[in-house]
Chains A and B, each alone.
Chain A
Amino acid sequence: MAISAQPLLKVESLHKRFGAAAVLAGVSLEVPRGRLVSVLGRSGAGKSVLLKCLAGVLSADEGVVTFDGHVLSEGDAAARADFRRRCSVLFQGNALFDSLTALENVALPLEQTTRLTEREIRARSLEALRQLELDAHSDHYPGELSGGMQKRLALARAIVTQPELVLFDEPTAGLDPLRRNAVFTMIAKYQRQFHFTALVVTHDVPEALVASDRVALLEGGTMCFQGTSAEFSASTDGVVSAFRDSEAALGTALSSIRRGEVVPSEDT
């Protein structure tokens, strides 16, 4: 995989405030082309807010987002439209349209944003479904599919436009460990198959470390770590190790409780 020196997506000092609460206070991030990057962080650390700011669902208060060398700003509609065409988002709840069949869901972005003929749209949508092993369910409604199939259907809808960048918002939220593995396997597999760049926002550390090329840790509104998975595992930084070694911390806390010591409860 050829990787150019310039990152596909570059975020510089992004700020986002909700009333008095500053959720993002100067977030910077680089996503190299063709890589799978995970943004880790505690629940409520602002991971989803970051992703929504990047996707354009929320608008950031300050900061510069550069996509493929072009700065995305509020006023530049052409750059935004170009970004939308080349970027897809997979939402936490899949955001599938329940009144449309699987095939219609996948065809929707092509139908509404391209000038392809009906036949081309149908062919490409069926191809996307086939690649995600959903071709047997093309006439089913999302409600009739299992959770994993819905996730794959959402991914099919995301990749049908052949995006260069796919943003994943908590793809494993609320899944058991086996399904978490399956989802990360799916992301890694198709990321290599379709050569897209992936940015995954998650709080599942072990899975993310194994699957990702690079990880970043969002804490207190800023990125307190960026590097490869190996660097993350080896880091001695206090915040990183606390997050990484949460199981060990749990063990320590539990043994303290068993000994009858008072354990300060952290905010969640």
Chain B
Amino acid sequence: MVRSVGRHTLTLVHTLGDFALFTIRAFHEAAGSRKLARRVVCSMFEQGVRCLPVIVIVGVFTGLVLGLQGYHVLNKFGSESLLGTLVSLSIVRELGPVLAALMLVGQAGSALAAELGMQRQTEQIAALETMGVSSHAYLVAPRLIAALIVYPLQTAVFCCIGMWGGSVSGTMLLGLESGVYWSAVERAVEAHDVRECMTKAVTFGLLTVALCAYQGFHAHRSSAGSGARAVSASTTRAVVMSSIVVLAADYVITSFLV
């Protein structure tokens, strides 16, 4: 019993250290890599342009439903004028960064874990290493750099769309004055809220993409053996762990920043 606790602790520490080294190595070795910018643009296309529709759709519905629910609650206190405050703060502080990150994990993170897993299985990663090309710099670094740029942008888009969704349900469906809503939004959101939002977005981007890449990259270590099973197992693990990490990191950041 005590031994198993010890063993699991050691495994956890070892994995965390390995993960940190993996991430640091990607950035470190990216420095000398040629045509890195081109690969970053490709990754930004995958994480940015490809994921924009889902970000917009989820953002609109999040705002709509927050507006609807918030309106009915605030109505009981006669403070419908605070709807803008409720919607904007919920979205900017919490829902924007978290939901955007979860959506990006679902679409871009899973794809990248599966792609790297497949490249591992078909020996493409081994081929890179035998050519003397750093697979960390060639495959992992562009995705991490793209995530650092794309996540804040996607989160900002999500927040704007979400607040617009809140105004739609508040003003069009429930008859709140649009000026009341937007002035409440402008009064509520402070610079430090936006800073918190962006800090979260960057952190989530780095953590989730590094985690997905780590899982895909080490698909051959999977206990599911090799081949398609290993790829599917590592992809599943990548998505589940990234989602958990997003929520856990959100709690940690919120408790430190607020």
In the complex they form, whether A and B have CB atoms below 8 Å apart is answered with yes
Tell me the A residues contacting B by CB distance below 8 Å.
52, 55-57, 81, 84-85, 87-89, 91-93, 95-97, 108-109, 111-113, 161
Tell me, yes or no, whether B187 is within 8 Å of chain A by CB.
Answer: no
> 19 A-B pairs, CB-CB below 8 angstroms?
A52-B126, A55-B130, A56-B130, A57-B130, A84-B131, A91-B123, A92-B123, A93-B123, A95-B122, A95-B123, A108-B133, A109-B132, A111-B34, A112-B33, A112-B34, A112-B131, A112-B133, A113-B132, A161-B131
Partner of A112, one of B119, B124, B130, B138: B138
- Complex contacts, B138 vs chain A, CB 8 Å: 112
B132 & A85 in contact (Cβ 8 Å cutoff): yes
Q: With a CB–CB cut-off of 8 A, which chain A residues contact B35? A: 111
B124 proximity list for chain A (CB < 8 A):
95-97
Residues of B within 8 A of A (CB): 33-35, 119, 122-124, 126-127, 129-133, 138
**CA–CA, A92 and B34, complex, Å:** 28
Q: Chain A interface mostly helix, strand, loop or mixed?
A: mixed
- Measured CB to CB, the nearest residue on chain A to B139 is A97
A157 to chain B, nearest CB (A): 8
Chain B residue contacts of A57, Cβ below 8 A: 126, 129-130
Cβ-closest chain B residue relative to A160: B131
Complex: chain A residue closest to B133, CB-CB: A112
Q: How far is the CA of A256 from the CA of B126 in the complex (A)?
A: 46
Of B35, B119, B126, B138, chain A has the most CB atoms within 10 Å of the CB of: B126
Q: Which of B33, B130, B138 has the most CB of A within 10 A?
A: B130
When A91-B123, A93-B122, A97-B124 are in contact, do A84 and B34 touch as well, CB less than 8 Å?
Answer: no
Q: In the complex, are the beta carbons of B131 and A108 less than 8 A apart? A: yes
Provide the residues of chain B in CB contact with A95, threshold 8 Å.
Answer: 122-124, 126-127
Name the residue of chain A whose CB is nearest to the CB of B121. Answer: A93
Bound-state CA distance A89–B129 (Å) is: 10
Residues of A within 8 A of B34 (CB): 111-112
Q: Which residues of the other chain, B, contact A89 by a CB distance below 8 angstroms?
A: 126-127, 130
Residues on the A chain within 8 Å of B131, using CB: 84, 88, 108-109, 112-113, 161
- A91–B131 Cα distance when bound, in Å, is 12
CA distance A114 to B209 in the complex (A): 29
Closest CB pairs A-B (n = 10): A95-B127, A84-B132, A112-B133, A95-B123, A89-B130, A109-B131, A91-B123, A57-B126, A113-B132, A55-B130
